[in-house]
Structure 1
Amino acid sequence: MRFKHYKLQLLLRVLLLALTVYFIARIGLNQAYYGTLLGLGLLFLLQVWLLIRYMEHTSRLYLRFLNSIKYDDFTEQFSLSGDGKTMHEIAQRLNEVTNKFREVRTEKEAQLHYYEMIFQHIGTGILTYKPDGSILLLNNAAKKLLKIGQLAHVQELESLSPELALGLQQLENGDKVLVPLRQSGEQATIAVHVMELSVLGDKVRLASLQNIQRELEEKEMEAWSNLIKVLTHEIMNSVTPISSLSASAYEEISSYTDTALEEITLLREELQEVGQCLHTISRRSEGLIHFVSDFRNLTTISVPKITQFNVTELLQEIRLLLREQLAQKQVQLEVQYPHQHMLLSADRSMVEQVLINLTKNAMEAVQDQPKPKISLSASLDQRSRITIAVSDNGQGMTEEAMEKIFIPFYSTKKSGSGIGLSLSRQMMRLHKGTISVQSELGRGTTFLLRF
């Protein structure tokens, strides 16, 4: 029989124990009842053991509760429905505490998942690592920016960029550094900002990685545009009157030298020489004005008129437009048309102009080759962006030339003005696209347009 009250059960056990002691005392050491005495002794020991075990029942209950906290297992449920009101209330309170722990853990796990989702989807690359270089977290933006998978140590970035790996290890709290990075022919400048945090007594470094190449290019082009505007304005103001005056003076002298007046016969040769000089000044002034006007184009590109057109048709048109020039220079043009129906939303005339500039540059780059060849192709890259490539089998370029090739006024050709590729980059930027170069000495050059 099991009583439903803790005190009654305890009282009953004590009474039974007292009765057993009483009978043992009554029997005493009478040898006639030796077997009965032995039985009562064993019964006494059993009752003492059961009493101790019953008294430890509450201790075992608390021990189970503490173990559930220790091992973070809050699925444990406590039930003492048959041990009275007090014990039932104890079990109920323990269950309430366990449920509260479970709710807190669930809430923290939900918050952790929420912050992890934000961490992974934030647009800025984030990298957390220990002072020894062991990487803790690397978000998707950082993987996409660096074009890598999982990393275990900062030192693994050395193959990608020694400056980046060294900077992450040496930068202190609050330090910033700009790191150049070149991948797949695309030049990037990574702004690295490091902060040092203390998490549960351990130091953790958090580095933000952001590609600021577009912003730098925009500031660079803005500075060049402002400089070009000032220079062209001043040059035009100075050269235009000289050109006009020299042309007028040349016409005036020409009218005198054409007459047969006797008094100027002796001066005719001298006047003709002066007229020729003035004509040269006028012609060179007009050439300078035309030259300056070309540079003005860098600052006067119109807004693109976006239309949708077929890339295959665009490549066919480029081939047709340059057919005569390619034939004259005996350059082979190989066009690889896309396998699928590829539509591009852009300003067709601007894209044509960029492709014509790149193809003409390639024609000059291969003119000294025994079998000059240019390749024109279109495809989709890993991010499903339309990519048009212009390749040649020329001599290629040095690393220094690739870094400066898009700077205004810079040219690798003796007769180049240095504005063609600058204009092309401006046009691609207006399309929210990029133009990059891949080259190796002795193996040719490839320009990539990514839209």
Structure 2
Amino acid sequence: MTLPQLIILAIILLLLILWGAVRLHRHLTRVKRRLNLLLDALDSADTSMRFPTDTDHEVNAALNRIAQNLSDLRSRVIETEKYYQSITDTVATGVLVIAPTGHIHLANPAALRLLDRPAITHISSLRPSWPELYALLHTPSPGLDTTVRNLAVKTTSFTTHKGDTLLIATLDDISSQLATANLETWKEMSRILTHEIMNGIAPVVSIADTLKLRYDGHEDYMTHGLDAISDSTRSLKNFVANYKRLTVLPPPEPTDFDLTPLLQTAIDLTTSRPICNDYNNPNPDTTQNRHAGPPKFTLTLPESPARVHADRSQVLQVLINLIKNAIEANATVIAIRISQPANHRITLDIENNGTPLTPDTATRIFTPFFTTKPHGTGIGLSLSRRIITANRGTLNLTTPPSNPTTRLTLTLPTPTHQPIKLS
């Protein structure tokens, strides 16, 4: 091959190499551009981008496969989030997810209900109403297992993919457990005291009556003394009888009934004043002057029947007692609200603008024989809670902090949530 031929061949090979390099560069540029487009879409949470496969079939098919897998993964993540969201929205346990800055990423409905708040975005908002809980949660403290008021509080930590450590706090209402434990203590004390006191005063009453019958003297001090002994021992017997009522409670005979008519009956039995169904302003007006006479009732009732599964006569007894307490507290407005079923329970709130409870009184109103009334026995609210507990319900003081009104909340099971029969 001559030299000119070799030069021509070399030029042709060089041109082919240049052409191939240009084709390769353009191909790599297209691939890079498509990768950048796909990454930009993913940064925007868009996994719907697809590339046509009529050109660069293998590359575009591979990119489409990556996009599809990422789309499927995102769908599974969203599905998992909805799954756990539905769980946290329906469980009775309150859940708070707290960032290191104190911002609350998640507060499920149960947590808002237990804390009596419509919403919560920062842990500092708990300081006025829940200072003890704020002291526990304002700094990350995983591994807690303690009690704050009526809440059992547990905490754990979780580290995100960005390295942020979140504090997860769970809140459980243990009011019923505390009430049950308190009740069992009082029942045992009542049993012992009833036995010992009755055994001690029975012969005293008998001897005093016998001496009064046999005494034929004329000394007034002897007659008065025997009368005092007899009257004092009989008063003590009546006291013991009231004490015994806390423990000797007939077992409930639950039936299915509508709570609304029973509430109307309880109001009719405690007052003859007409009832005001004020649906637009169900809260007591604490600004008006108190005056003598029957209070004004405002009712907020559900559209459908509020059916519960409980002992009708026992529940009526409790409703009468709660309304009477509000009237005796000089309330001018008593607001009663029956809420639709939630977690298989009907909720009834009784709120009044009577004489507010002091902080000390608020913590003791369910204690047997504690009373603020001059002639009260102190067994009304404790017996009412005992009755509601026996019917698988709850009765608690739920007055919001710094609220001048007094609110008691009663819950009862619905017919779909059959209570366990007491032995």
Question: Is TM (by shorter chain) over 0.5?
Answer: yes
In the other structure, the counterpart of 2:251 is 303
Correspondence for 1:265: none
Please state if 1:400 is matched with 2:348. no
Greater share of residues in helix: 1
* Aligned residue number for residue 165 of structure 1: 134
- Structure 1 window deviating more from structure 2 (347-356 vs 430-439): it is 430-439
Any stretches of 5+ residues in structure 2 without a counterpart?
Answer: 273-291, 413-423
**Paired position in structure 1 for 2:169:** 207
Which residue pairs with 2:377 in the alignment? 417
State the partner residue of 2:22.
53
**Residues 78/312 of structure 1: CA separation in 2 closer, same or farther (3 Å cut):** closer
Query: CA 1:80–1:56 in structure 2 vs 1: closer, same or farther (change >3 Å)?
Result: farther
Q: Does 1:389 align with 2:347?
A: no
Judging changes above 3 Å, is the alpha-carbon distance between structure 1 residues 61 and 150 closer, same or farther for their aligned structure 2 residues?
A: farther
User: Which residue in 2 is equivalent to 1:353?
Assistant: 317
- Aligned pairs (5 A) from 1:165-204: 165-170=134-139, 172-180=141-149, 189-200=150-161, 201-204=163-166
Contact 2:351-2:405 at 8 Å conserved across structures: no
**Contact 1:331/1:363 (CA < 8 Å) preserved in 2?**
no
Counterpart of 2:338 in structure 1 is: 380
Distance 1:446 1:105 in 2: 47
Q: Deviations over 1:10-44 (max 9, x none)?
A: xxxxxxxxxxx978957xxxxxxxxxxxxxx9x99
CA distance in 2: counterparts of 1:311 and 1:82, whole angstroms: 73
Asked if the contact 2:157–2:167 (Cα under 8 Å) also holds between the matched residues in 1, the reply is: yes
Contact 1:354 1:424 in 2 (8 A): yes
CA distance in 2, matches of 1:135, 1:437: 24
Tell me, what secondary structure is at the counterpart of 2:184?
A: helix
Distance change (3 Å), C-alpha of 1:310 and 1:62: closer
Deviation at 1:158, TM superposition (A): 3.1
Corresponding residue for residue 136 of structure 1: 105
AA aligned to 1:289 is K
Distance in 2 of aligned mates of 1:317 and 1:146: 30
CA distance in 2 between counterparts of 1:440 and 1:118 reads 29
Which amino acid in the other structure matches residue 294 of structure 1?
Answer: N
Distance change in 2, residues 1:437/1:417 (3 Å)? farther
Q: 1:11-410 alignment to 2 at 5 Å?
A: 25=7, 49-56=18-25, 59-60=28-29, 63=32, 67=36, 70-71=39-40, 72=42, 73=47, 75-77=49-51, 79=53, 99-149=68-118, 151-170=120-139, 172-180=141-149, 189-200=150-161, 201-253=163-215, 257=216, 268-270=217-219, 273-274=221-222, 276-307=224-255, 308=257, 311-312=260-261, 315-316=264-265, 319=268, 331-332=293-294, 334=296, 345=308, 346-362=310-326, 364-366=328-330, 378-381=336-339, 385=346, 387=348, 389=350, 391=352, 393=354, 395-410=355-370
Whichever of the two has the greater Rg, that structure is: 1
Structure 1 stretches of 5 or more lacking a match? 1-20, 27-40, 181-188, 258-267, 324-329, 367-372
Larger relative contact order, structure 1 or 2 (CA cutoff 8 Å, min sep 6): 2
2:242 aligned partner, one-letter code: D
What is the aligned residue count? 380
Write out per-residue CA displacement over residues 149-168 of structure 1, whole angstroms, 9 at most, x where no aligned residue.
55442223335433333321
Residue identity opposite 1:195 in structure 2: T
CA contact (8 A) 2:366 2:381 kept: yes
Using structure 2 for the length normalisation, give the TM-score: 0.71
Change (3 A) 1:276 1:178: same
Code of the residue aligned with 2:232 in structure 1: it is R
Checking the alignment, whether the CA contact within 8 Å between 1:390 and 1:447 is kept in structure 2 is: yes
User: Alpha carbon RMSD of aligned pairs, Å?
Assistant: 4.4
**Corresponding residue for residue 10 of structure 1:** none
Change (3 A) 1:52 1:360: closer
SS in 1 for 2:143: coil
